[in-house]
Amino acid sequence: MTTLGYAILGLLAREALSGYDVTQRMKGRVGFFWGAGHSQIYPELARLQEGGLVTHSVVEQRERPDKKVFDITEAGLDALKEWAVTAPPRRPTKDELTLKAYSVWLVDGEEAARLFRDEGRRYEEQLARYEEIRAWMEKEWADDIGRPETPRFASYATLRRGILYEKGNAEWCRWLADAVEGKPEGSGEPKESKKKGKKGA
């Protein structure tokens, strides 16, 4: 099964949803850490149903076409539980901003500082959104976020992970911008380093 399949099962373990609802949840709650589009979700729901991991019922609507509402099966729950405690495969990290930092010694400090301050602000904006959600959760879900057996605790846990991620990136961008500001372009002199036989870092 694909990781998207498990993401969908994680949503359906919380509540029965239509395909449209799953798509909206993937844009919102789950979309902060795992994204998928409409064209991926409906085929995945069909595969999950073929595998006996979800089922659906048809809900009649007066002014709209009838809709399918999907629910997780016992087999789906078992598969989700097993997956949730299995270590994920190690994948190579691809971070273009960090890759740019690897060559920052070659460029004009003012330009580099501008880039990293701009990126830092983006992280800070996302962090502010997360902090608003955190404040809401800690007020509205106060009885549940300390109970690991509840889905609200799990949602809170993923939010805490997001907060630490955005905060760490914002701090790193600020530090780097401060460090390179005022550095003249080309001050790294890569050719001179090679002539002197210095090892590359």
pLDDT in tens, 17-67: 999 999 999 888 787 788 788 889 999 999 999 999 999 999 887 888 888
Question: 18-22, 110-114, 157-161, 190-194: lowest mean pLDDT where?
Answer: 190-194
Is 150 among the domain residues? yes
Verify that 79 and 103 share a domain, yes or no: no
The single residue listed with the structure tokens 């530090």 is: 175
Verify that 115 and 168 share a domain, yes or no: yes
Cβ neighbours around 84 below 10 Å, total: 12
Q: Quick check: 116 pLDDT over 70?
A: yes
Q: What is the arithmetic mean of pLDDT over 178-187?
A: 76
Give Cα separations from 171 to 40, 80, 105, 123, 176 (angstroms). Answer: 35, 35, 19, 9, 9
Is 198 among the domain residues? no
pLDDT tens digit string along 141-171?
A: 999 999 999 999 999 999 999 999 999 999 9
- Asked if residues 71 and 48 have their Cβ atoms less than 8 Å apart, the reply is no
The residue with greater pLDDT, 184 or 119, is: 119
Verify that 124 and 159 share a domain, yes or no: yes
Domain count, the chain: 2
Verify that 105 and 68 share a domain, yes or no: no
Verify that 50 and 125 share a domain, yes or no: no
pLDDT at 125: 98
Verify that 122 and 80 share a domain, yes or no: no
pLDDT category of residue 106 using cuts at 50, 70 and 90: very high
Verify that 110 and 77 share a domain, yes or no: no
Verify that 161 and 123 share a domain, yes or no: yes
Is 90 among the domain residues? no
> Please, what is the average pLDDT of the chain?
90
Is 24 among the domain residues? yes
Is 28 among the domain residues? yes
Which residue range is the domain that position 112 belongs to? 96-186
Verify that 56 and 100 share a domain, yes or no: no
Is 80 among the domain residues? yes
Verify that 60 and 115 share a domain, yes or no: no
Q: Quick check: 117 pLDDT over 70?
A: yes
Find, among 67, 58, 57, the residue nearest to 21 by Cα.
67
